[in-house]
Amino acid sequence: MKFHSIGAAALALGLSIVPALAKEPVLYTSNPVPAVEAVQAVAKEKVGASLGVITGGSGVLLRRIEAEAAAPQGDVFWSSSANTLGAYEKFFEPYNSPELSAVPASLRYPNNLFQPSNVHLVTMLVNTDLLDGVEAPDSWADLADPAWKGKVIVADPANSSTGYTIAWGLAQLLDKKTYEALVANMVVAGSSSSVPKGVSMGEYSVGLTFETNSYAYVDGGQKELKLVYPSEGTFMTADYAGLVKNAPAGDAARKTIDALLSKEAQIELLKVAFRRPSRSDIKIADYVGLPELAEVKVAPFDEAAAAKAREAFLAEWAALPKAGDTE
């Protein structure tokens, strides 16, 4: 797969890729390089042009879209959870993509303001080489033990939809004492990608992150790494793409959404980036070694409530003691 201009090498360095032609759609994305590469060929075929790509954390990119609202520079945002996107609704416009016919109604965003591109499960990524004879955690409550202080890493919920999903979910699922004890053991990372990287490099025993991020390291051959789906239940959230209001690329921007939702793109995302599809016509076991959704206990998660309470919740989160400063 080829990116125009400086291509994948620039993405790997976190640099922006500026489209060569004005009408080429510009994709603002928080997704890692493998995920972007997985959809580029599909997008080029379905859109008729390569995508200009600008990468960054979901919170950073959404604030950029907000700042550019009077003169949009991007066309499509991909991707974040509803609990984060809810605060930015006015900067996007609805789009009833024909590909939504394959997506369960339970995943659809009201009025199709955002389009579900895949589904995430939260996991613990455990480095078994760092357990020092202690049993691997099986539950969220296990991580509230003081023995885990400074050994658990999570992304900053203010900058990462992954981090916000985890922090909000834990606050609702656990009693206050257990929740605050768990948070006190955490080190907070500036980005979601830092979490599995820190665990894989032996810097932290446990990383709290989305399945797609954690399984990439397990699939990469690191046998000391183990995925744990906590016994109390984990959190499931859909990741959404969004059509920026007054997107300068026009119809090409809408076709970009179609490409992200297409069966071809979602199969590639599953195979290459381990993202569970939002479509109901793809069988997980045909492509990767992840459990089927029916095999995992999922705890209730109110996306609307999480979005509504975001500002107040983040203020409360910031005030809680942590094991380390933001990295």
Residue 143 inside a domain? The answer is yes
- pLDDT tens sequence across 213-263: 999 999 999 999 999 999 999 999 999 999 999 999 999 999 999 999 999
Structural domain harbouring 299: 120-235+294-319
Tell me the pairing of strands 236-244 and 76-81.
antiparallel
pLDDT confidence of 324, banded at 50, 70, 90? confident
The domain that holds 88 is classified in CATH as: 3.40.190.10
Residues 28 and 115 in one domain: yes
Give me the pLDDT at residue 4, please. 39
Torsion angles phi and psi, residue 109, rounded to 5: -85, 145
Give me the pLDDT at residue 325, please. 54
Q: What is the pTM of this model?
A: 0.77
Q: Residue 76 CB: number of other CB atoms within 10 A?
A: 29
Domains: count for the chain: 2
pLDDT confidence of 12, banded at 50, 70, 90? very low
Beta bridge partners of 34: none
Considering 21-25, 139-143, 191-195, 323-327, the range whose residues carry the highest mean pLDDT is 139-143
Residues 154 and 229 in one domain: yes
Is residue 19 scored above 80 in pLDDT?
A: no
Give me the pLDDT at residue 157, please. 95
What average pLDDT does the structure give for the chain?
A: 91
Give me the pLDDT at residue 96, please. 98
pLDDT confidence of 68, banded at 50, 70, 90? very high
Give me the pLDDT at residue 201, please. 97
Residues 143 and 252 in one domain: no
Give me the pLDDT at residue 3, please. 36
Residue 1 inside a domain? The answer is no
